């Protein structure tokens, strides 16, 4: 949402006296949703793989071994393992300015 109000006055009110003044007020708010972020601790966990067994050294949290060396090499399970929860953020800003 975005609301902005601007008002101003410019002119001459007496001989040799000019006025030029303004005021503005803005209210803004926006929501951000970040998807498909990588959980870096899980990413590191998935890279630490025993080459003999092709299993994660640390199998906690359902670790899935990752193959990230090459295009389209990561499995869907690996992508799901390292995907972080979506991040939602709401921001608001109010600004008022004036000039006399």
The per-residue pLDDT for 23 is 97
Read off φ and ψ for residue 52, nearest 5 degrees.
-75, -40
The per-residue pLDDT for 69 is 86
Q: Report residue 16's pLDDT band, with 50, 70 and 90 as the boundaries.
A: confident
Other residues' Cβ atoms within 10 Å of the Cβ of residue 7: 10
Q: Report residue 14's pLDDT band, with 50, 70 and 90 as the boundaries.
A: confident
CA distance 83 to 100: 53
Whether 63 and 50 have beta carbons less than 8 Å apart is answered as no
* pLDDT tens digits, one per residue of 20-76: 999 999 999 999 999 999 999 999 999 999 999 999 999 999 999 998 888 888 899
The per-residue pLDDT for 3 is 97
């Amino acid at each position: 949402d975005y609301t902005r109000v601007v008002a101003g006055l410019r002119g001459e009110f007496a001989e040799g006296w000019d006025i030029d003044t303004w005021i503005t007020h803005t209210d803004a708010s926006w929501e951000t949703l970040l998807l498909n972020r990588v959980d870096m601790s899980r990413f590191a966990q998935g890279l630490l793989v025993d080459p003999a067994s092709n299993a994660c050294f640390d199998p906690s949290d359902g670790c899935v071994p990752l193959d990230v060396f090459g295009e389209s090499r990561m499995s869907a399970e690996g992508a799901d393992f390292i995907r972080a929860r979506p991040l939602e953020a709401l921001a608001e800003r109010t600004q008022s300015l004036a000039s006399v």
